[in-house]
Structure 1
Amino acid sequence: MPSRDFKRTDRVGAELRRELGLLVHAAVRDHGLSSCSVSDVEVTRDLDWATVWVTALLPDQSLELVKALNGMSGEFRRSLSRSMRLRRVPELRFKYDDSVDKGERIDALLREGAAGHAQDEGDA
Protein backbone atom coordinates (compact mmCIF):
# COMPACT_ATOMS: atom_id res chain seq x y z
CA MET A 1 0.00 0.00 0.00
CA PRO A 2 1.56 3.35 -1.02
CA SER A 3 2.24 5.89 1.69
CA ARG A 4 0.15 9.02 1.73
CA ASP A 5 2.26 12.08 1.00
CA PHE A 6 -0.10 14.55 2.65
CA LYS A 7 -1.46 14.10 6.13
CA ARG A 8 -4.86 15.43 7.02
CA THR A 9 -3.25 18.18 9.11
CA ASP A 10 -1.34 19.34 6.02
CA ARG A 11 -4.50 19.47 3.92
CA VAL A 12 -6.44 21.30 6.64
CA GLY A 13 -3.51 23.72 7.10
CA ALA A 14 -3.39 24.48 3.37
CA GLU A 15 -7.13 25.13 3.25
CA LEU A 16 -6.95 27.31 6.36
CA ARG A 17 -4.09 29.29 4.81
CA ARG A 18 -6.16 30.02 1.69
CA GLU A 19 -9.29 30.98 3.62
CA LEU A 20 -7.47 32.99 6.30
CA GLY A 21 -5.50 34.85 3.65
CA LEU A 22 -8.75 36.28 2.33
CA LEU A 23 -10.20 36.94 5.79
CA VAL A 24 -7.06 38.66 7.09
CA HIS A 25 -6.80 40.79 3.96
CA ALA A 26 -10.39 41.96 4.46
CA ALA A 27 -9.83 42.58 8.19
CA VAL A 28 -6.70 44.64 7.51
CA ARG A 29 -8.62 46.78 5.05
CA ASP A 30 -11.72 47.16 7.29
CA HIS A 31 -9.91 47.86 10.57
CA GLY A 32 -7.10 50.06 9.24
CA LEU A 33 -4.31 47.69 10.29
CA SER A 34 -0.90 47.64 8.67
CA SER A 35 -0.69 45.46 5.58
CA CYS A 36 0.13 41.80 6.19
CA SER A 37 -0.19 38.37 4.65
CA VAL A 38 -0.58 34.82 5.94
CA SER A 39 2.66 32.98 5.27
CA ASP A 40 1.90 29.59 6.83
CA VAL A 41 -0.55 27.70 9.02
CA GLU A 42 0.53 24.84 11.28
CA VAL A 43 -2.23 22.62 12.64
CA THR A 44 -1.82 20.32 15.64
CA ARG A 45 -2.32 16.62 15.10
CA ASP A 46 -5.66 16.59 16.94
CA LEU A 47 -6.85 19.63 14.92
CA ASP A 48 -7.55 21.59 18.12
CA TRP A 49 -5.10 24.44 17.47
CA ALA A 50 -3.78 26.23 14.42
CA THR A 51 -0.78 28.54 14.55
CA VAL A 52 -1.14 31.19 11.85
CA TRP A 53 2.15 32.81 10.80
CA VAL A 54 1.80 36.32 9.37
CA THR A 55 4.31 38.68 7.80
CA ALA A 56 3.87 42.43 7.92
CA LEU A 57 4.84 45.04 5.38
CA LEU A 58 5.96 47.29 8.25
CA PRO A 59 7.83 45.06 10.74
CA ASP A 60 7.87 47.73 13.45
CA GLN A 61 4.05 47.48 13.69
CA SER A 62 4.04 43.67 13.86
CA LEU A 63 3.40 43.46 17.60
CA GLU A 64 0.17 45.46 17.50
CA LEU A 65 -0.88 43.69 14.31
CA VAL A 66 -0.55 40.24 15.88
CA LYS A 67 -2.36 41.46 19.00
CA ALA A 68 -5.26 42.77 16.88
CA LEU A 69 -5.46 39.56 14.83
CA ASN A 70 -5.49 37.43 17.98
CA GLY A 71 -8.33 39.61 19.23
CA MET A 72 -10.31 38.91 16.05
CA SER A 73 -9.61 35.16 16.07
CA GLY A 74 -13.14 34.37 17.25
CA GLU A 75 -14.63 36.21 14.29
CA PHE A 76 -12.25 34.39 11.94
CA ARG A 77 -13.28 31.02 13.42
CA ARG A 78 -16.97 31.80 12.90
CA SER A 79 -16.36 32.75 9.27
CA LEU A 80 -14.27 29.62 8.75
CA SER A 81 -16.96 27.41 10.27
CA ARG A 82 -19.38 28.68 7.61
CA SER A 83 -17.00 28.33 4.67
CA MET A 84 -15.13 25.10 5.49
CA ARG A 85 -16.40 21.57 5.80
CA LEU A 86 -14.91 20.73 9.17
CA ARG A 87 -16.70 19.30 12.17
CA ARG A 88 -14.73 21.63 14.44
CA VAL A 89 -12.61 24.59 13.33
CA PRO A 90 -9.32 24.80 15.29
CA GLU A 91 -8.60 27.59 17.75
CA LEU A 92 -6.44 30.19 15.99
CA ARG A 93 -3.19 31.58 17.36
CA PHE A 94 -1.51 34.33 15.34
CA LYS A 95 2.27 34.74 15.47
CA TYR A 96 4.66 36.99 13.57
CA ASP A 97 6.90 35.30 11.00
CA ASP A 98 10.21 37.14 11.06
CA SER A 99 11.93 34.97 8.45
CA VAL A 100 11.45 37.61 5.74
CA ASP A 101 13.01 40.26 7.98
CA LYS A 102 15.95 37.99 8.75
CA GLY A 103 16.41 37.24 5.04
CA GLU A 104 16.47 40.94 4.18
CA ARG A 105 19.00 41.59 6.95
CA ILE A 106 21.26 38.79 5.69
CA ASP A 107 20.94 40.10 2.14
CA ALA A 108 21.92 43.61 3.28
CA LEU A 109 24.92 42.25 5.18
CA LEU A 110 26.05 40.27 2.13
CA ARG A 111 25.75 43.36 -0.06
CA GLU A 112 27.77 45.41 2.42
CA GLY A 113 30.41 42.67 2.51
CA ALA A 114 30.57 42.51 -1.28
CA ALA A 115 30.86 46.30 -1.55
CA GLY A 116 33.60 46.35 1.09
CA HIS A 117 35.43 43.53 -0.67
CA ALA A 118 35.26 45.39 -4.01
CA GLN A 119 36.71 48.53 -2.35
CA ASP A 120 39.54 46.50 -0.80
CA GLU A 121 40.48 45.07 -4.22
CA GLY A 122 40.31 48.54 -5.79
CA ASP A 123 42.72 49.94 -3.17
CA ALA A 124 45.29 47.21 -3.77
Structure 2
Amino acid sequence: MPEQRARKYHQDRVAETLREEIGAMIEGELSDPRIASAYVTQVVLNPGGKSAMIYVAVEGEHDIEAREKANIEGLMAARGYIRHELLERMGVRHVPELMFYSDRSERMTARVEELLERQKKRQKKKTAEAL
Protein backbone atom coordinates (compact mmCIF):
# COMPACT_ATOMS: atom_id res chain seq x y z
CA MET A 1 0.00 0.00 0.00
CA PRO A 2 2.66 2.64 0.82
CA GLU A 3 4.20 2.57 -2.65
CA GLN A 4 0.86 3.49 -4.22
CA ARG A 5 0.47 6.41 -1.86
CA ALA A 6 3.98 7.54 -2.77
CA ARG A 7 3.21 7.20 -6.47
CA LYS A 8 0.06 9.30 -6.10
CA TYR A 9 1.99 11.93 -4.14
CA HIS A 10 4.66 12.03 -6.87
CA GLN A 11 2.05 12.38 -9.61
CA ASP A 12 0.36 15.21 -7.72
CA ARG A 13 3.69 17.02 -7.37
CA VAL A 14 4.49 16.57 -11.06
CA ALA A 15 1.00 17.77 -12.05
CA GLU A 16 1.31 20.86 -9.84
CA THR A 17 4.75 21.65 -11.27
CA LEU A 18 3.42 21.26 -14.80
CA ARG A 19 0.50 23.58 -13.99
CA GLU A 20 2.79 26.26 -12.58
CA GLU A 21 5.39 26.09 -15.37
CA ILE A 22 2.89 25.98 -18.24
CA GLY A 23 0.95 28.82 -16.61
CA ALA A 24 4.12 30.91 -16.45
CA MET A 25 4.84 30.18 -20.11
CA ILE A 26 1.31 31.17 -21.15
CA GLU A 27 1.54 34.42 -19.18
CA GLY A 28 4.79 35.66 -20.63
CA GLU A 29 6.86 33.47 -22.90
CA LEU A 30 4.51 32.34 -25.64
CA SER A 31 4.17 35.10 -28.21
CA ASP A 32 1.27 33.58 -30.16
CA PRO A 33 -1.61 36.11 -30.12
CA ARG A 34 -4.16 33.26 -30.01
CA ILE A 35 -3.02 32.37 -26.49
CA ALA A 36 -3.71 35.75 -24.89
CA SER A 37 -5.80 35.98 -21.69
CA ALA A 38 -5.75 32.29 -20.76
CA TYR A 39 -4.73 30.39 -17.65
CA VAL A 40 -4.23 26.77 -16.63
CA THR A 41 -6.92 25.49 -14.29
CA GLN A 42 -6.01 21.83 -13.91
CA VAL A 43 -3.48 19.22 -15.00
CA VAL A 44 -4.45 15.54 -14.98
CA LEU A 45 -1.69 12.96 -15.43
CA ASN A 46 -2.42 9.49 -16.72
CA PRO A 47 -1.49 6.81 -14.17
CA GLY A 48 1.69 5.87 -16.05
CA GLY A 49 2.76 9.49 -16.39
CA LYS A 50 3.18 9.23 -20.16
CA SER A 51 0.58 11.85 -21.01
CA ALA A 52 -1.10 14.81 -19.37
CA MET A 53 -4.37 16.59 -20.01
CA ILE A 54 -4.07 20.32 -19.42
CA TYR A 55 -7.31 22.25 -18.94
CA VAL A 56 -7.11 25.91 -19.91
CA ALA A 57 -9.73 28.59 -19.26
CA VAL A 58 -10.14 31.80 -21.23
CA GLU A 59 -10.86 35.09 -19.51
CA GLY A 60 -13.39 37.56 -20.81
CA GLU A 61 -17.02 37.56 -21.82
CA HIS A 62 -17.23 38.27 -25.55
CA ASP A 63 -16.99 35.53 -28.18
CA ILE A 64 -15.58 32.97 -25.74
CA GLU A 65 -16.21 29.94 -27.94
CA ALA A 66 -14.08 31.29 -30.81
CA ARG A 67 -11.33 32.42 -28.44
CA GLU A 68 -11.30 29.00 -26.72
CA LYS A 69 -10.88 27.28 -30.06
CA ALA A 70 -8.09 29.65 -31.15
CA ASN A 71 -6.44 29.29 -27.76
CA ILE A 72 -6.37 25.48 -27.95
CA GLU A 73 -5.06 25.61 -31.53
CA GLY A 74 -2.25 27.96 -30.47
CA LEU A 75 -1.31 25.78 -27.50
CA MET A 76 -1.34 22.61 -29.58
CA ALA A 77 0.93 24.33 -32.12
CA ALA A 78 3.32 25.35 -29.33
CA ARG A 79 3.33 22.08 -27.39
CA GLY A 80 6.69 20.95 -28.80
CA TYR A 81 8.28 24.14 -27.52
CA ILE A 82 6.46 23.79 -24.19
CA ARG A 83 7.67 20.19 -23.75
CA HIS A 84 11.23 21.22 -24.56
CA GLU A 85 11.12 24.05 -22.03
CA LEU A 86 9.59 21.77 -19.40
CA LEU A 87 12.36 19.24 -19.95
CA GLU A 88 14.98 21.89 -19.26
CA ARG A 89 13.17 23.52 -16.33
CA MET A 90 12.12 20.38 -14.50
CA GLY A 91 15.34 18.46 -15.03
CA VAL A 92 13.62 15.14 -15.65
CA ARG A 93 14.23 12.43 -18.21
CA HIS A 94 10.72 12.30 -19.52
CA VAL A 95 8.09 14.99 -19.95
CA PRO A 96 4.56 13.68 -20.57
CA GLU A 97 2.82 14.13 -23.89
CA LEU A 98 0.66 17.24 -23.55
CA MET A 99 -2.95 17.52 -24.65
CA PHE A 100 -4.79 20.82 -24.16
CA TYR A 101 -8.52 21.12 -23.51
CA SER A 102 -10.88 24.02 -22.82
CA ASP A 103 -12.10 24.23 -19.25
CA ARG A 104 -15.73 25.28 -19.29
CA SER A 105 -16.49 24.34 -15.69
CA GLU A 106 -16.75 27.94 -14.44
CA ARG A 107 -19.27 28.86 -17.12
CA MET A 108 -21.26 25.68 -16.53
CA THR A 109 -21.33 26.34 -12.79
CA ALA A 110 -22.56 29.88 -13.37
CA ARG A 111 -25.28 28.60 -15.69
CA VAL A 112 -26.46 25.98 -13.18
CA GLU A 113 -26.58 28.60 -10.42
CA GLU A 114 -28.61 30.89 -12.70
CA LEU A 115 -31.10 28.11 -13.41
CA LEU A 116 -31.40 27.27 -9.72
CA GLU A 117 -32.10 30.91 -8.90
CA ARG A 118 -34.84 30.98 -11.53
CA GLN A 119 -36.38 27.85 -10.04
CA LYS A 120 -36.33 29.38 -6.54
CA LYS A 121 -38.09 32.50 -7.85
CA ARG A 122 -40.75 30.35 -9.52
CA GLN A 123 -41.29 28.39 -6.30
CA LYS A 124 -41.67 31.61 -4.30
CA LYS A 125 -44.12 32.95 -6.86
CA LYS A 126 -46.21 29.73 -6.74
CA THR A 127 -46.32 29.72 -2.94
CA ALA A 128 -47.31 33.42 -2.88
CA GLU A 129 -50.13 32.77 -5.38
CA ALA A 130 -51.33 29.75 -3.41
CA LEU A 131 -51.75 31.83 -0.27
RMSD: 2.2
SS at match of 1:82: helix
| CA drift at 1:108 | 0.9
What is the CA distance between 1:38 and its match in structure 2?
A: 0.6
Farther off after superposition, 83-92 or 42-51: 42-51
Gaps of 5+ in 2: none
C-alpha displacement of 1:39: 1.0
Amino acid at match of 1:10: D
1:91 paired residue among 85, 97, 110: 97
Per the alignment, residue 109 of structure 1 pairs with 115
| Structure 1 residue matching 2:99: 3-state secondary structure | strand
Relative to the length of structure 2, the TM-score reads 0.79
Aligned equivalents of 1:2, 1:62: Cα separation in 2: 41
Mapped to 2, the partners of 1:86 and 1:12 lie a distance apart of: 10
- Residue in structure 1 matching 2:51, options 49, 52, 56: 49
Q: Distance in 2 between matches of 1:44 and 1:121?
A: 50
Distance apart, 1:90 and its partner CA: 1.4
Distance 1:109 1:71, change over 3 A: same
Kindly provide the amino acid, as one letter, of the partner of residue 65 in structure 1: N
- Return 71-80 or 108-117, whichever deviates more: 108-117
Which residue is equivalent to 1:21? Answer: 23
Greater helix share, structure number: 2
Identity %, equivalent residues: 26
Unaligned segments of structure 1, at least 5 residues: none
Q: Deviations over 1:40-61 (max 9, x none)?
A: 1112233221111111124322
- 1:57 and 1:27 map into 2 onto residues whose CA distance is 18
Q: Render the CA deviation track for 1:84-115: whole Å, top value 9, x for unaligned.
A: 12111112110112221211110110122222
State the TM-score, normalized to the length of structure 1. Answer: 0.82
| Cα separation, 1, equivalents of 2:59 and 2:127 | 37
